[in-house]
């Protein structure tokens, strides 16, 4: 289960008074983590055996 920034590796916990640190996706490792999560979501969505 990912929550508020976990999909791209935000370092600090989510805080309702601040936005997510989307600038982190400018860094290669954070962008790769976000892409991996997108791929896993697509795999889950398209794999009928796990539904």
Of residues 11 and 28, more confidently modeled: 28
> Which are the contacts of 4, defined by CB distance < 8 A and separation ≥ 6?
10, 14, 20
pLDDT tens per residue across span 32-50:
999 999 998 899 888 877 6
Stronger pLDDT, 29 or 48, i.e. the higher one: 29
Whether 2 shows a pLDDT value over 80: the answer reads no
Between CA 48 and CA 45 the distance in angstroms is 8
Task: Give pLDDT, residue 48.
Answer: 76
* Structure confidence at residue 39 (pLDDT): 94
Any idea where the domains of the chain sit in the sequence? 21-51
pTM over 0.75: no
């Amino acid at each position: 289960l990912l929550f508020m920034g976990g999909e791209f590796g935000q370092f600090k916990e989510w805080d309702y008074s601040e936005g997510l640190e989307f600038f982190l996706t400018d860094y290669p490792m954070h962008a790769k983590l976000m892409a991996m999560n997108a791929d896993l979501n697509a795999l889950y969505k398209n794999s009928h055996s796990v539904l």
